[in-house]
């Protein structure tokens, strides 16, 4: 049976993308899998009694070494902020390519804590900073120093000791450009080095909390229980910075979504589902409910989504246990069709992620295809005709072409870059100043404009001739030819309309990162947790790849 890939005009709607969940394709899971055979080491740990100082951690295999350098600094209460506008943090980190020399550490000690205002070099691969959850960190220190383990309820409800507020890579602030490292096999999957940084930071937070507790009460202190460590991840506060990323990297976005869609298609095409695979799917699905019930948020929007997801999943599990026959041909296809008929997008996409769990043979080869050589598709095929381009727009943007952008509600917002932190923001164009400096992220509106212009242009004209007098729309002409080749490269929604939920864009990206427990703090930023439940570095070899559900 040949199952078609899902229609981009359905999958690429923001509400659907904002319903994606982590899966076997997620970058943090594929990172752990790739690096499970690497040698982990804590190379340096020079912290004072308060936990301030320098530490270095590394992963090594043959001649390749990646080293995380951590700088933990004292921070006054009033200086601690998760906002991107902060200028000081409890700790700052960089992932160094190789083994850092003393002079490298000295150089970086002056630069890394400054983050965006520091200068990095081609020897550094990623950069980040993090703040303590003071409440949890202090509680853990108090308990450990008294020889006790911390309160499990508090640990579970927060889920981390530190949260990062940004992780930078790919040439930012002088960091190594991707071209320098892109041929390394171990980082073929996207964001591998960002994941490595966050993972090693997690270990640093455990070592630091143990060290501070021990310094406080050397005779009585105990170490944080290994199982509690495993249950803690790294928090992350994420704002609008992520949203433009997925618009600005169309072929990369395509390759992420495409890997998911091809996985689903291949799973639906399995004629006979083995008992073992069925059981693994059911086991992961049932165990995963724990992640949903421990998902804390104050966001009414998310609470409703969680409630409806939980209700749907519980119903779905009853259906699976009582009424569904896995022995029928193409059982996963039947299951998928049933989901589409009966359940909400959040539930459908949740189960799609779960369906991948038994099928390493399907997902593993696709993970290597999730990066992109974007430069290859930059040039516009200007020998093509206006007629070609018009047909592409009609075929690839059917819903977008029906939007009336003369209505204020459809043209309400504009994306801009803030001057103080060079961060993307979204504002109402009719209430705020600055719309004339709008970023080219209103793709739907500009595609519609392009279509209207093409409609009054001769079909036989080449794109070269068209562009010679219409370069204002060059950026979307380029995109249209990209979407012709890469069907999942474009969000099929209006990103400047009244109804835009920017966190849908954030959730899409974070689901591919492998984040759990999305906690929206507004419609424009959210908190998540990464690596919660993941094996510790010393447990990586032979770790259970389904750790997410344990």
Partner 1 sequence: MRSLSEIDTVSKRSSKAAGYSWGIAEEIGKNIRLLEIFSLPGIRNLNSFFKKKKELRLENISIIKQDNEANKNEYCPIIAGVNFLDQIKTLETLNEITFKKVSYPLLFLPFVSRAAEVIGKRIFLKMDDREFLLNFNNNIYSNYTKNEIIESAENIYLKVLENRDSFEEKEWNELYKLSEETFVEENESLKQGGAGAGLTDND
Residues near partner 1 (CB under 8 A) are 121-122, 170-179, 375, 378-380, 382-383, 417, 440, 462-465, 467-469, 471-478
Q: Is 324 helix (H, G, I), strand (E, B) or coil?
A: coil
Chain-centre distance for alpha carbon 225? 29
What are the phi and psi torsion angles at 151 (to 5°)?
Answer: -65, 120
> CB of 126 within 8 A of CB of 167?
yes
Q: For partner 1, which is the closer residue by CB, 316 or 397?
A: 397
The whole-angstrom separation of Cα 480 and Cα 382 is 12
At closest approach, how far in Å is the CB of 241 from partner 1?
Answer: 14
Return the closest-CA partner of residue 128 out of 66, 64, 183, 198. 198
Contacts of 543 (CB under 8 A, 6+ apart): 32, 36, 535
> Cβ 471 to partner 1, closest distance in Å?
5
Closest CA to 528 of 249, 254, 302, 189: 302
**3-state SS string over 403-464?**
CCCCCHHHCCEEEEECCCCCCEEEEECCCCCCHHHCCCCCHHHHHHHHHHHHHCCCCCCEHH
Query: Minimal distance in Å, beta carbon 171 to partner 1?
Result: 3
Closest distance between partner 1 and the C-beta of residue 113, in Å?
20
3-state SS, residue 514: coil
Q: What value, to the nearest 5°, has the Cα angle with vertex 305 and ends 300 and 306?
A: 95
In the complex, the smallest distance separating the C-beta of residue 174 from partner 1, rounded to whole angstroms, is 6
Closer by beta carbon to partner 1, 77 or else 383: 383
Contact at 8 Å (CB) between 231 and 533? yes
CB of 9 to partner 1, least distance (A): 25
| Cβ 242 to partner 1 shortest distance, Å | 17
3-state DSSP: the chain helix, strand, coil percent, rounded to 5?
50, 15, 35
Whichever of 153 and 375 has its CB closer to partner 1, that residue is: 375
Asked whether the beta carbons of 515 and 198 are under 8 A apart, the reply is no
Minimum CB–partner distance for residue 382 and partner 1 (Å): 4
Shortest distance, position 137 Cβ to partner 1, whole Å: 34
* Closest to partner 1 by CB, 172 or 421: 172
Q: Is 536 exposed, middle or buried (0-12, 13-18, 19+ CB in 10 A)?
A: middle
| Min CB(122)–partner 1 separation in Å | 7
DSSP 46: E
3-state secondary structure of 215: helix
Distance CA 414, CA 62 (A): 50
Cβ–Cβ < 8 Å for 265, 500: no
By beta-carbon proximity to partner 1, the closer residue of 139 and 172 is 172
């Amino acid at each position: 049976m040949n199952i078609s890939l899902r229609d981009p005009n359905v999958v690429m709607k923001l509400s659907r993308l904002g319903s994606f969940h982590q899966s076997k394709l997620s970058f943090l899971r594929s990172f752990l899998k790739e690096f499970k055979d690497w040698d982990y080491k804590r190379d340096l740990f020079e912290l004072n009694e308060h936990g301030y100082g320098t530490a270095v951690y590394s992963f090594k295999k043959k001649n390749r070494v990646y080293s995380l350098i951590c700088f933990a600094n004292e921070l006054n209460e009033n200086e601690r902020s998760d906002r991107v506008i902060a200028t000081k943090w409890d700790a700052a980190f960089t992932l160094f390519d190789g083994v850092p020399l003393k002079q490298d550490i000295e150089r970086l000690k002056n630069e890394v804590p400054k983050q965006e205002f520091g200068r990095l070099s081609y020897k550094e691969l990623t950069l980040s900073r993090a703040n303590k959850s003071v409440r949890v960190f202090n509680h853990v220190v108090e308990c450990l120093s008294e020889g006790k383990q911390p309160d499990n309820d508090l640990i579970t409800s927060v889920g981390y000791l530190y949260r990062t507020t940004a992780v930078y890579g790919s040439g930012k602030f002088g960091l190594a450009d991707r071209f320098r490292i892109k041929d390394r096999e171990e980082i073929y999957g996207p964001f591998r080095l960002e994941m490595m940084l966050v993972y090693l930071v997690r270990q640093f937070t455990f070592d630091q909390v143990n060290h501070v507790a021990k310094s406080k009460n050397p005779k009585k202190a105990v170490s944080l229980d290994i199982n509690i460590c495993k249950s803690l991840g790294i928090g992350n506060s994420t704002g609008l910075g992520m949203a433009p990323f997925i618009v600005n990297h169309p072929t990369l976005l395509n390759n992420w979504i495409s890997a998911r869609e091809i996985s689903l298609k291949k799973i639906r095409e399995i004629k006979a589902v083995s008992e073992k695979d069925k059981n693994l799917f059911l086991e992961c699905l049932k165990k995963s409910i724990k992640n949903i019930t421990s998902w804390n948020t104050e966001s009414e929007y998310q609470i409703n989504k969680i409630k409806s997801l939980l209700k749907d999943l519980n119903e779905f599990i009853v259906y699976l246990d009582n009424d569904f026959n896995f022995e029928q041909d193409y059982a996963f296809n039947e299951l998928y069709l049933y989901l589409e008929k009966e359940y909400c997008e959040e539930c459908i996409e949740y189960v799609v992620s779960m369906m991948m769990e038994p099928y390493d043979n399907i997902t593993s080869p696709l993970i290597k295809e999730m990066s992109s050589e974007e430069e290859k598709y930059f040039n516009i095929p200007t020998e093509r005709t206006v007629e070609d381009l018009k047909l592409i727009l009609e075929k690839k943007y059917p819903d977008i072409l029906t939007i009336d952008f003369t209505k204020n509600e459809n043209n309400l917002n504009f994306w801009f870059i803030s001057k103080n932190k060079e961060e993307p923001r979204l504002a109402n164009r009719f209430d705020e100043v600055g719309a004339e400096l709008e970023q080219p992220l209103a793709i739907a509106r500009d595609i519609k404009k392009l279509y209207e212009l093409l409609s009054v242009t001769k079909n036989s004209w080449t794109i070269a001739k068209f562009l010679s007098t219409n370069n204002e729309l060059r950026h979307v002409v380029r995109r249209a030819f990209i979407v012709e080749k890469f069907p999942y490269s474009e969000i099929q929604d209006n990103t400047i309309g009244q109804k835009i939920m920017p966190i849908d864009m954030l959730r899409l990206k974070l689901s591919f990162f492998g984040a759990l427990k999305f906690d929206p703090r507004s419609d424009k930023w959210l908190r998540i947790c990464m690596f919660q439940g993941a094996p510790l570095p010393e447990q990586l070899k032979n770790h259970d790849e389904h750790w997410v559900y344990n």
